[in-house]
Amino acid sequence: MAASLDTSTPADDQRPGSRRGVAARGVHLVGSVPLASPEEVFRTVAASLGDRLRRIPDGETGPRSDWIVWQYPVLSARPQFEVGPPGPDHYRALPRLRLKVGEPAEGVRLESLGYSQAAISSYRIFAGLKRDRVIPSACRLQVCLPTPLAPISAFVAPEDQAALEPIYEARMLEELKEILEAIPHEQLAVQWDTNVELGMLEGVFPVWFSDVRAGILERLLRLSRHVAPDVELGFHLCYGAAQLRHFEEPEDAGKLVQLANALTHSLDRPLNWIHMPVPRGRDADTYLEPLGDLHQRLETQLFLGLVHLTDGAEGTRRRIQTALRFVQDFGVATECGWGRRAPQTIPALIELHQEVSAPLVVRGEEPAPVFEWPTGFDRIPDEDWTRQPVDSFGLAYDTVEHHGWYKNLDPTVEDLASSLRDGDLLVDYSGGTGILLDRLKLRIFDRQIGMLIVDSSAKFLRVSLEKFQDDPRVGLRVIRFLKDQKRLQYLDEVLGADIIDRGVDVIASTNAIHLYSELPATLASWVRSLRPEGSVFINSGNIRNPRARPNEWILDETVWVINEVAEGLVRTDPRYAAYRGYLDDQERLSAHHAHRDRVFLAPRPLEFYLGALEGAGFNVEEVREETIEASVEDWFELMSTYHDAVLGWVGGTEKVDGRAPTAAAVEDRLRLIRHSMEILFGGRKEFRACWTYITGICN
Domain made up of 4-363: CATH architecture: Alpha-Beta Barrel (3.20)
Whether 15 has a pLDDT exceeding 80, the answer reads no
pLDDT of residue 193: 94
Share of the chain above pLDDT 90, in %: 77
12, pLDDT greater than 50: no
Q: Is the pLDDT of residue 349 over 50?
A: yes
Distance (Å, rounded) from C-alpha 346 to C-alpha 348? 5
Q: Does residue 240 register a pLDDT over 80? A: no
How much is the pLDDT for 446?
80
> Three-state secondary structure along 32-59?
ECCCCCHHHHHHHHHHHHCCCCCEEECE
Residues 250-295 pLDDT 10s: 788 999 999 999 999 999 999 999 999 998 876 678 899 999 999 9
Query: What is the distance, to the nearest Å, from the Cα of residue 579 to the centroid of all Cα atoms in its chain?
Result: 47
Query: What are the start-end ranges of the E strands in 409-516?
Result: 425-429, 450-455, 474-478, 481-482, 487-488, 504-510
Summarize pLDDT for 581-629 with one digit per residue, the tens: 999 999 999 999 999 998 898 899 999 999 999 999 999 999 999 999 9
Strands 686-698, 618-631: pairing kind: antiparallel
Average pLDDT over residues 339-349: 92
Residue type, 217: L
The reported pLDDT for the residue numbered 21 is: 44
CA–CA separation, 57 and 626 (whole Å): 32
The three-state DSSP-derived secondary structure of 125-151 is HHHHHHHCCCCCCCCEEEEEEECCHHH
pLDDT at 363 over 60: no
pLDDT at 245: 55
CATH code of 367-540, in short, is: 3.40.50.150
- Give 514: exposed, middle or buried? Use CB within 10 Å, 0-12, 13-18, 19+: buried
Question: For 502-539, how does the pLDDT look when each residue is reduced to its tens digit (9 = 90+)?
Answer: 999 999 999 999 999 899 999 999 999 999 999 999 99
Phi and psi at residue 496, to the nearest 5°: 85, 170
Name the DSSP letter for residue 156. Answer: B
More confident site: 238 or 141: 141
Domain boundaries, the chain: 4-363, 367-540, 546-601+630-690
Amino acid at 73: P
Beta strands in 157-285 (DSSP E): 188-194, 232-237, 273-277
Q: Is the pLDDT of residue 2 over 60?
A: no
DSSP 3-state of 553: strand
Cα separation, 191 vs 123, in Å, equals 15
CB 153 within 8 A of CB 161: yes
Distance CA 120, CA 184 (A): 11
- Per-residue model confidence as pLDDT tens digits over 473-507: 999 999 999 999 999 999 999 999 999 999 999 99
| DSSP-H helix ranges across 236-391 | 254-266, 285-288, 312-323, 346-356
Q: pLDDT tens, 426-466?
A: 999 999 999 999 999 999 988 899 999 999 999 999 999 99
Tell me which residue of 698, 599, 694, 585 sits closest to 650, measured CA to CA.
585
pLDDT at 300 (0 to 100): 95
* CA–CA gap between residue 509 and residue 672 (Å, rounded): 32
Residue 90 has pLDDT above 90, yes or no: no
Q: How far apart are CA 290 and CA 293, in angstroms?
A: 6
Taking alpha carbons only, the member of 493, 479, 494, 476 closest to residue 380 is 476
CA dist., res. 511 & res. 554, Å (int): 12
Mean pLDDT over 629-658 rounds to 94
For residue 92, the model assigns a pLDDT of 63
Burial status of residue 170 (CB atoms within 10 A of its CB: 0-12, 13-18, 19 or more): exposed
Q: Of 463, 458, 472, 468, which is closest to residue 401 (Cα–Cα)?
A: 463
Summarised one tens digit per residue, pLDDT across range 167-180 is 999 999 999 999 99
C-alpha distance from residue 180 to each of 16, 119, 183, 223, 425 (Å): 41, 10, 6, 14, 29
663-680 and 557-572 helices cross at what angle (nearest 10)? 110
Report residue 379's pLDDT band, with 50, 70 and 90 as the boundaries: very high
150's CB contacts (< 8 A; 6+ apart) are 67, 68, 193, 195, 196
pLDDT, averaged across the chain = 90
pLDDT at 572 over 90: yes
| Cβ pair 655, 544 in contact under 8 A | no
**Containing H/E element for 501?**
helix 497-502
Residue 283 is predicted with a pLDDT of 64
For the chain, what percent of residues have pLDDT higher than 70?
93
Q: What is the DSSP string of 636-670?
A: HHHHHHTHHHHSTTTT--HHHHSSPPPHHHHHHHH
Q: Phi then psi for 74, rounded to 5 degrees?
A: -60, -40
The single-letter DSSP state of residue 511 is S
Q: Are 334 and 356 in contact (CB under 8 A)?
A: no
Average pLDDT of the residues in 411-417? 96
Give dist(CA 25, CA 358) in Å, integer: 5
Find the mean pLDDT for residues 542-568.
Answer: 94
